């Protein structure tokens, strides 16, 4: 049989310091933005209206932050997580420059840590991925770690090395889009009268609405991001797996939760950073996703009196409305309904 196909990397193929330049740069089009809106019902005005965006100093309507994330992430899957058992978490992610229709995105990852698991069958791999545009400007940087199968269980374990990651991106390291001016911010068009000043640390917001996962939609989304992970595509292979069916791509849940968060956080116009996050439990077609947010912190932005930053814990639950804010059960374990626990910084206008 020909050996020209790519079987993906296994745990023993990863070495700290290794740099992987991922294939298939991608030019983002307005069609993809429309598909993204169709998939998640995104209503944030910045990503819906050229006129709204230009009034704030943008060149035009920027690509949704999470669509940028998915495109950059999707490039990495054939090299990083094609043979993954699970995507375990994210940290130290920053959105560094707006992306516009017509920009071409490429991805590169550096292996920053490896550690074999005690079962000798799998290991954890940490990578820092950067996404760049056609001018070589970094638009996104983040760390993720995945559990990857070994090709040969008898292969010797590499020396364990895990990166020291921050609990959160420092507020002073958040990047405000160049040229941003909120003097022309239209709260009525944005959909909410509530500004940065109106939110309190510890406040919890039930985003009320729910959205049922459809098989066709998550398949379309995964293909849109060119994410080739077998667990999302190959029902024939997955029917004999742990769950007997395809898993919903975790990023699909992130985008659904972000879309639902509009109801209660409509003025959170830009995700500035991903502090951390984990996919707590798998999701499947037929599950209905609800979401809630907790304000973990507030920060003023140096040199700006027109906007502030909110640190939010965005939680998604399946088949469980979030009025009671499920997170832990009576024994202190993850609530069985919770599927996502995501920690982000967002930018929001200040009152006045």
For the question of whether the overall pTM of this predicted structure is more than 0.85, the answer is yes
With a cut of 50, list the residues of the chain below it in pLDDT: none
What was the pLDDT predicted at 86? Answer: 84
What was the pLDDT predicted at 205? Answer: 98
Fold that domain 191-213+248-352 belongs to in CATH: Thiol Ester Dehydrase; Chain A (3.10.129)
Which ranges in the chain are annotated with CATH 3.10.129.10? 11-153, 191-213+248-352
What was the pLDDT predicted at 228? Answer: 84
What was the pLDDT predicted at 192? Answer: 97
Give CA–CA dist 126/142, Å, rounded. 11
Nearest one of 65, 39, 44, 51 to 266, comparing CA atoms: 44
What was the pLDDT predicted at 1? Answer: 66
What was the pLDDT predicted at 152? Answer: 92
What was the pLDDT predicted at 157? Answer: 84
Looking at the structure, give the CATH architecture of the domain made up of residues 11-153.
Roll (3.10)
What was the pLDDT predicted at 233? Answer: 77
What was the pLDDT predicted at 74? Answer: 95
């Amino acid at each position: 049989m020909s050996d020209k196909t790519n079987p993906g990397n296994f745990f023993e193929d990863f070495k700290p310091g290794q740099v992987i330049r991922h294939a298939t740069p991608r030019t983002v089009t307005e069609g993809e933005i429309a598909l993204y809106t169709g998939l998640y019902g995104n209503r944030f005005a910045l990503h819906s209206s050229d006129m709204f965006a230009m009034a704030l100093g943008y060149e035009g309507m920027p690509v949704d932050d999470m669509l940028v994330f998915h495109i950059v992430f999707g490039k990495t899957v054939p090299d990083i997580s094609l043979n993954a058992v699970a995507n375990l978490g994210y940290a130290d992610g920053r959105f560094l420059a707006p992306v516009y229709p017509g920009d071409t995105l490429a991805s590169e990852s550096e292996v920053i840590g490896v550690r074999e698991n005690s079962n000798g069958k799998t290991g954890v791999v940490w990578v820092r991925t950067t996404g760049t545009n056609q001018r070589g400007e970094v638009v996104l940087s983040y760390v993720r770690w995945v559990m990857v199968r070994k090709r040969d269980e008898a292969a010797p374990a590499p020396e364990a090395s895990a990166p020291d990651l921050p609990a959160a991106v420092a507020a002073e390291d958040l990047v405000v889009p160049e040229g941003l001016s909120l003097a022309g911010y239209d709260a009525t068009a944005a959909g909410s009268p509530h500004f940065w000043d109106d939110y309190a640390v510890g406040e919890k917001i039930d985003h009320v609405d729910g959205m049922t996962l459809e098989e066709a939609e998550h398949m379309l989304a995964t293909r849109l991001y060119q994410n080739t992970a077998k667990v999302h595509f190959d029902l024939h292979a997955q029917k004999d797996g742990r769950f007997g069916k395809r898993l919903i791509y975790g990023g699909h849940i992130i985008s659904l939760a972000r879309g639902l968060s509009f109801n209660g956080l409509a003025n959170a116009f830009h995700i500035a950073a991903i502090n951390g996050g984990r996919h707590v439990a798998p999701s499947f077609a037929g599950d209905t996703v609800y979401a809630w947010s907790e304000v973990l912190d507030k920060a003023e932005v140096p040199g700006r009196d027109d906007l502030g930053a909110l640190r939010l814990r965005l939680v998604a639950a399946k088949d469980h409305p979030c009025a009671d804010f499920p997170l832990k059960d009576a024994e202190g374990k993850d609530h069985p309904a919770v599927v996502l626990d995501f920690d982000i910084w967002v930018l929001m206008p200040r009152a006045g």
